[in-house]
């Protein structure tokens, strides 16, 4: 599976939603009076967390609120060695958020470091009307964005505070929170509810065991906590205390955050991480395997069509119906496009200004998707030499990305220019680079994510869709043009949209009803 793409990028997104990291950038909007009332109940404090996978510590996290003469500073940190694709991958993230005494956002700085590829976001507010931030990555020039807002905005780290401090917590109580999401440039309302109440024994001090060299708990407190969740639990979820601070939370891929003493959370992990790294993934089960879904029926070859029954989850909100996919109830049929169909559709493809206006979004430059960059343009021009149709250009782009990128699992946020320079990555890197190349070639392109069948199981996977008179799924990771029918698209959009796939974890079941394998296993056509 380490040659087939990965679910790993969602790990950081899951922590971002649970602990409030700005990299996801969902923002809570509330009235100034409401925020000022909440501010009176916020006190300075720092909490530490062990990050566990299958009962083994793989990382460390912290969350702090400090007061200053002008307001509050929120600091979050996360670092873990994640066993993915048979090897350990270090992922780290830090954020600092500055607020006024009235809990109004004034500025922030965030950094992701995954597989030694840092991405930094630094920004500030312009009153209540806009947020301006600068995104910087290793291979790209600074990218400045300005996001319009309407009223004060806060980060998701304060949504738990608003839920728990606003009213006395009570099981069954639901809260609807308006969210401004600049990743989609729109607003939405999310609903979370208090689902359960329980007591937790939380360690608060530790001592060093001289015999083992490990820190152990010497004192614990009993903390009452409430489980907050719902369909929008990627924004706020887990067990929260009465002050709105995380006590325990389960994240993507089975990662568990548990509040504990600093020495147990950090010192023990620091002292053992070198030994764990020397053993590879050690005793911890690989994240890819924990998120795989059995197909129940073996399939072989490259599929022209596939019919499955999806069970165990609600399918509302997913992009399951349309194009090559037909959804009827919980029955999903996928049909691979045939060459004659592609040729007929290509004849109707718009050109010039009509194409540019109709597909402005799917042709646009985006952060870390440097459409039109001179390096991308030179490659597109070279690969387009001698072609007569957009389909030929698209086919060459898919084949070049497949042949040129070393198949290697990563946990970094994809950056098209960095991928072009390093020529390695998993499905997210293959997809990001191909979308950038296709848009540079004036072929509308978007990202699709869902599940792909590999050796008896469905794994989380990403691939591009190109508009060639109709939307056509292609897969540069597998080298397929078009992609075979064993690709079940759940969402279209980048890593932020992929976060909705977290709802499938541990619940989705797939029954294969009609496999139609081809005997050959060829790549592209």
Token digits of residue 451: 């599940």
Sheet holding 325-328, edge to edge: 325-328, 331-335, 303-311, 509-517
Measuring CA to CA, which residue among 502, 499, 477, 500 is closest to residue 487? 477
User: Cβ(426)–Cβ(471) under 8 Å?
Assistant: no
Q: Residue 365 CA to chain centroid, in angstroms?
A: 20
| Residue 520 pLDDT exceeds 60 | no
User: Cβ(4)–Cβ(453) under 8 Å?
Assistant: no
Separation between Cα atoms, residue 342 and residue 2, nearest integer Å: 32
User: Cβ(367)–Cβ(144) under 8 Å?
Assistant: no
> Taking the CB of residue 174, how many other CB atoms lie within 10 A of it?
11
Separation between Cα atoms, residue 387 and residue 339, nearest integer Å: 17
Q: Domain 292-517 is in which class?
A: alpha beta
pTM above 0.75, yes or no: no
| Residue 9 pLDDT exceeds 60 | no
Measuring CA to CA, which residue among 471, 485, 474 is closest to residue 514? 485
Separation between Cα atoms, residue 360 and residue 363, nearest integer Å: 5
For residue 368, name the pLDDT band (cuts at 50, 70, 90).
Answer: confident
**In this predicted structure, what is the pLDDT of residue 525?**
40
User: Cβ(163)–Cβ(176) under 8 Å?
Assistant: no
Q: Which of 69-73, 81-85, 503-507 has the highest mean pLDDT?
A: 69-73
Per DSSP, 369 falls in state: B
CATH 3.10.620.30 boundaries in the chain:
292-517
Q: pLDDT for 483-515, tens place per residue?
A: 999 999 999 987 667 767 767 766 788 888 887
Separation between Cα atoms, residue 179 and residue 107, nearest integer Å: 18
Upstream peptide bond of 443 is cis (omega within 30 degrees of 0): no
- CA angle, corner 150, sides to 145 and 154, nearest 5? 75
| Residue 335 pLDDT exceeds 50 | yes
| Residue 26 pLDDT exceeds 60 | no
Per DSSP, 461 falls in state: E
Mean pLDDT of 249-258: 78
């Amino acid at each position: 599976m380490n040659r087939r793409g990965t679910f790993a990028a969602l790990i950081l997104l899951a922590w971002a939603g649970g602990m409030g990291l700005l990299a996801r950038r969902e923002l809570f909007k509330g009235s100034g009076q409401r925020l000022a009332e909440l501010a009176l109940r916020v006190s300075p404090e720092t909490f530490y967390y062990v990050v566990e996978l299958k009962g083994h510590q793989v990382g460390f996290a912290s969350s702090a609120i400090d007061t200053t003469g002008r307001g509050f500073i929120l600091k979050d940190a996360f670092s873990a060695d994640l066993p993915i694709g048979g090897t350990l991958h270090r992922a780290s993230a830090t954020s600092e958020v500055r607020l006024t005494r009235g809990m109004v956002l004034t500025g922030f700085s965030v950094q992701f470091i995954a597989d030694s590829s840092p991405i930094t976001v630094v920004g500030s507010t312009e009153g209540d009307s806009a947020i301006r931030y600068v995104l910087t990555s290793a291979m790209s020039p600074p990218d400045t964005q300005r996001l319009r807002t309407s009223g004060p905005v806060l980060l998701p780290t304060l949504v738990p505070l608003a839920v728990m401090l606003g009213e006395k917590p009570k099981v069954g109580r639901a809260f609807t929170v308006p969210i401004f999401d600049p990743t989609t440039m729109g607003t939405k309302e999310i609903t979370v509810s208090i689902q359960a109440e329980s007591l937790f024994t939380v360690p608060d001090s530790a001592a060093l065991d001289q015999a083992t060299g490990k820190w152990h708990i010497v004192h614990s407190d009993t903390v009452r906590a409430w489980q907050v969740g719902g369909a929008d639990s990627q924004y706020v979820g887990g067990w929260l205390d009465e002050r709105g601070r995380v006590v325990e939370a389960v994240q993507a891929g089975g990662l568990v955050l548990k509040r504990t003493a600093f020495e147990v959370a950090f010192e023990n992990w620091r002292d053992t991480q070198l030994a764990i790294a020397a053993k590879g993934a050690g005793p911890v089960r690989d994240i890819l395997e924990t998120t795989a879904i059995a197909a129940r029926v073996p399939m072989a070859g490259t599929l022209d069509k596939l019919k499955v029954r999806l069970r165990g989850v609600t399918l509302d909100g997913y992009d399951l119906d349309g194009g090559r996919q037909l959804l009827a109830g919980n029955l999903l049929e996928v049909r691979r496009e045939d060459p004659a169909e592609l040729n007929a559709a290509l004849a109707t493809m718009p050109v010039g200004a009509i194409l540019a206006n109709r597909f402005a979004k799917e042709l646009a430059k985006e952060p870390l998707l440097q459409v039109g960059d001179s390096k991308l343009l030179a490659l597109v021009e070279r690969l387009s030499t001698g072609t007569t149709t957009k389909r030929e250009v698209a086919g060459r782009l898919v084949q070049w990305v497949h042949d040129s990128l070393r198949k290697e699992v990563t946990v970094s946020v994809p950056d098209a220019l960095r991928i072009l320079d390093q020529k390695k990555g998993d499905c997210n890197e293959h997809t990001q680079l191909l979308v950038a190349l296709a848009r540079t070639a004036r072929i509308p392109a978007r990202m699709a994510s869902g599940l792909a069948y590999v050796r008896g199981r469905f794994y989380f996977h990403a691939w591009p869709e190109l508009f060639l008179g109709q939307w056509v799924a292609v897969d540069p990771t597998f080298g397929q043009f078009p992609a075979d029918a064993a690709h079940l698209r759940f969402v279209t959009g980048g890593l932020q949209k992929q976060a909705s796939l977290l709802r499938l974890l541990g619940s989705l079941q797939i029954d294969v009803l009609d496999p139609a394998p081809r005997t050959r296993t060829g790549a592209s056509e």
